[in-house]
Amino acid sequence: MATETPPPSKTPTRLPATEAFVAEQESAEFGELRRSYRSFAFPLTVGFIAWYLLYVLLSNYAGDFMGTKLFGNVNVALVLGLAQFLTTFLIAWWYSRHAAAELDPKAEAIKSRMEGGA
């Protein structure tokens, strides 16, 4: 029977006090991080939901338009449905670039400061 080795011991990290978190939340740098996130995510979310609802409404109430054949057996509904997938992936790619360039450096600076002051 093999003996199990215990997992390597982790040194407990000391968390900053609650007051430090509250102070950081009220800081201008944290406010800028939130603003950067919200100014990117909220408009894209609203835009995508509107685009999705447009597709659903067209599918329900504009059947003749959605059934219009573009070429072969490909109609407007199929093209717009596939465009939903395309826009989903494009938004995810765009967000990952935005997060890496704008959000992650700001968040890392805040994290380092909080961990350094713990």
Each residue's pLDDT tens digit, 4-47: 766 665 655 677 778 878 888 888 888 899 999 999 999 999 99
The pTM of the whole model exceeds 0.85: no
Q: Tell me the CB-side half-sphere exposure of residue 24, using CA atoms within 13 A.
A: 18
CA distance 81 to 7: 50
What the block records as the tokens of 100 is 């890496």
